[in-house]
Structure 1
Amino acid sequence: MDSAILHFISPPIPYFVDCGYAYYGVGDSHIERDCIRVFDLIVVRKGVLPIGENGQSWEIQEGEGFILLPNGHHYGSAPCTTDTEIIWIHFQTYGSWKLCLDMNECMGNQMELIEEHKRLAYLNHADVCSIFLPKHMKLSSKAMEVLETFFQQEQEPQSLRNWKRQASFQLFLQHLDRDLASPTNDTAIQLADRIELFIRQNYATEITNSVLQKKLNYHPNYLAKAMLKVYGMTPMTYLQYYRLEQSKRLLLQTPWSIARIAEEVGFHHVSHYSSFFSKKEGLSPSGFRRKFAKQR
């Protein structure tokens, strides 16, 4: 199913707020609302729901889901022509998100969205990743099974129920994210994940395209293509990015010298590290430390 894609950066992972059922008889329409400030995931269990948002209209069929935006104008685009039953789930995020036309647009804007995310979510050095959710989706049987667990927990005590629903919601998002990938994308995702894991575990050592080729048994061009598709950057660019993020962690959490931090994260020359850091962050490593580290 062709659909726009909601691109989220995490952590924090989009979090569950509330859920429930709604029923529409023949002639009933979805309620009209403006800027409800939460994402509204609607899943049709029975019937067909005509829905509109910001001047566009869709018909959500049985077994399909649709995500309404927190800042949109929502309404029934037409009365229901058959008895219809839906599940609704409200969720939200403190991080960055963007509605994109397709995966190419998601990848093209990924680094810009990550940088915005760090400002919004107050994350200066955390490892972040992308979550992709289709706006309009056909739900797999596994995703539907997870969805039903939200209501099987109704008899649990409130505190325990909320914990379980949050866990179920994250599992549900994982299914949506993975179901979005085509077989070609899934292969790229698996390979990109292997590259990312190797870099994360070995970033302080000497890593080159030749090293990656030897360890992963793929030509560097193929490795770069997979990383560009999934992370929006080549393995070598990701390596520099990851080293930079780890150096921020050390700047904030240790009293080590700039030279030692540069060496610890894999930069051979402190001058190269300082220049690279300043270019990417707009201030020097020592300036970053003065701005963000607490007084010791």
Structure 2
Amino acid sequence: MDSAILHFISPPIPYFVDCGYAYYGVGDSHIERNCIQVFDLIVVRKGMLSIGENGCSWEINEGEGFILLPDGHHYGDVPCTTDTEIIWIHFQTFGSWQICCDMNECLGKQMELIEEHKKLAYLHHADVSSIFIPKHMKLSPKALEVLETFFQQENEPQSLRNWKRQASFQLFLQHLDREFASPMNDTAIRIADRIELFIRQNYASDITNSVLQEKMNYHPNYLAKAMLKVYGMTPITYLQYYRLEQSKRLLLQTPLSIARIAEEVGFQHVSYYSALFSKKEGLSPTGFRRKFALKR
């Protein structure tokens, strides 16, 4: 099913807000609303719901899901022609997200979105990852089974029920993300993930294109194309990026000197490390530490 893709960055993972059932008889339509400030996931359990958003129309059939945007204009496009039952789930996220036409656009904008997310979510030194959810989707039996758990805790105390629903929602998102990503997992994505894992596990070592060629058994040009497609940068540029991100951890969490930090994350020359850091962050490593770390 071709669909636009909602691209979230985590942590934090998009969080559950509320859920419920809704019923539509023949001739009924979805209510008209504007900018409800939460994502609205609609899953049709029975029948068919015709819905509009910002001038576009969709038919959501039995077993399908659809996500309405928090800043959109929503309305019933055509009255129901059969009795229809839906599950609705409201959720929200903290930080950055975007909607893209296809996976290529998502991957092309991924690093830009990650950098924006880190600033908005105050994740100056945290590892983050992408979550890809289609706007209009066919749900697997397993995903539908997880959905039903949202309504199996009605006799639980409120505090316990809310915890369980958060856990169920995260499991549900995990199913959607994995089911969507599996067909997209072509050779380039698999290779890029192997490179990323190798860099993450060995970033303090001397990693060159020759080393990557030996470990991955592919020509450096092919490795570069794979990383550019998935991460928007070459392996060596990603290595520099990852080293700088790890240095932020040490700047904020340890009293190590700038020279020692440069050495710990794999830079042979502290002057080169400081220049790269300043170019990326707009301030020196020392300035970054002064801005975010309190002196004891």
Same fold (TM over 0.5): yes
Match for residue 44 of structure 2?
44
Residue 182 of structure 1: how far off its partner (Å): 5.3
* 2:261 matches 1:268: no
Residue 80 of structure 2: SS of its match in structure 1?
Answer: coil
What's the offset of the Cα at 1:159? 2.3
Distance 1:55 1:245 in 2: 42
Matches within 5 A, 1:61-210: 61-181=61-181, 183-185=183-185, 187-210=187-210
CA distance in 2, matches of 1:17, 1:206: 46
**Residue 14 and residue 276 in structure 1: after superposition, are their counterparts in 2 closer, same or farther (change >3 A)?**
same
Which amino acid in 1 is paired with 2:275? S
Name the SS of the counterpart of 1:162 in structure 2: helix
Q: CA deviation at 1:139?
A: 1.1
Q: State the shift of 1:160 in Å.
A: 2.4
Cα offset, 1:247, TM superposition: 0.6
The change in CA–CA distance for 1:149 and 1:193 in structure 2 (over 3 A counts) is farther
Residues 83 and 187 from structure 1, CA distance in 2 versus in 1: closer, same or farther, beyond 3 angstroms? farther
Note the alpha carbon deviations across 1:118-147, whole angstroms, 9 max, x for none: 111011110011111111111112211211
**For 1:130 and 1:140, how far apart are their aligned partners in 2?**
21
- Taking only aligned residues, the RMSD between alpha carbons, in angstroms, comes to 1.6
Shift of 1:219: 3.6
Over 3 Å counting, the alpha-carbon distance change for 1:165 and 1:217 in structure 2 is: farther
Match of 2:6 in 1: 6
Question: 1:96-124: CA deviations, max 9, x gaps?
Answer: 00111111111121121111111110111
- 1:234 Cα deviation after fit: 2.5
Q: How many residues align?
A: 296
> TM-score, with normalisation over the residues of structure 1?
0.94
Is residue 259 of structure 1 aligned with residue 254 of structure 2? no
What are the residue-to-residue correspondences of 1:172-251 with 2, within 5 Å? Answer: 172-181=172-181, 183-185=183-185, 187-251=187-251
Partner residue in 1 for 2:25: 25
Q: Deviations over 1:185-240 (max 9, x none)?
A: 25544443332222112111111222223333344344334333332323222211
**Residue identity in the other structure for 1:123:** L
Look up the equivalent residue of 1:25 and give its one-letter code: G
| Structure 2 letter corresponding to 1:160 | L
Q: Percent identity?
A: 86
2:60 maps to a residue whose letter is: I
In the superposition, relative to structure 1, how do residues 178 and 222 fare at CA in structure 2: closer, same or farther (>3 Å)?
farther
What is the rounded CA distance, in whole Å, between the counterparts of 2:13 and 2:256 in structure 1? 32
The alpha carbon displacement at 1:184 in A equals 4.8
CA drift of 1:40 comes to: 0.4
- Distance verdict in 2 for CA 1:65–1:214, change over 3 Å: same
Q: 1:58 to 1:119 in 2, by over 3 A?
A: same
Distance in 1 of aligned mates of 2:184 and 2:70 = 32
The structural deviation recorded for 1:157 is: 2.8
> Secondary structure, in 3 states, of the residue corresponding to 1:181?
helix
Which ranges in structure 2 are unaligned for 5 or more consecutive residues?
Answer: none
Contact 2:262–2:270 (8 Å) recurs in 1? yes
Question: Normalising by structure 2, what TM-score?
Answer: 0.94
Residue deviations 1:76-113 (CA, integer Å, cap 9, x gap): 11111110000111111111001111111111211211
- How far has the Cα of 1:10 moved from its partner? 0.9
Distance in 1 between residues matched to 2:285 and 2:65, nearest whole Å:
46
Give the letter aligned to residue 285 of structure 2: P
Distance 1:192 1:157, change over 3 A: farther
Structure 2 SS opposite 1:49 = strand
CA distance in 1, matches of 2:97, 2:232: 16
What amino acid maps onto 2:108 in structure 1?
A: G
Question: Separation in 2 of the partners of 1:211 and 1:149?
Answer: 48
Q: Distance in 2 between matches of 1:81 and 1:188?
A: 45
Find the aligned partners of 2:186 and 2:142 in 1 and give their Cα distance.
17
Offset of residue 63 of structure 1? 0.8
Distance (whole Å) between structure 1 residues aligned to residue 188 and residue 43 of structure 2: 29
Paired AA for residue 82 in structure 1:
T
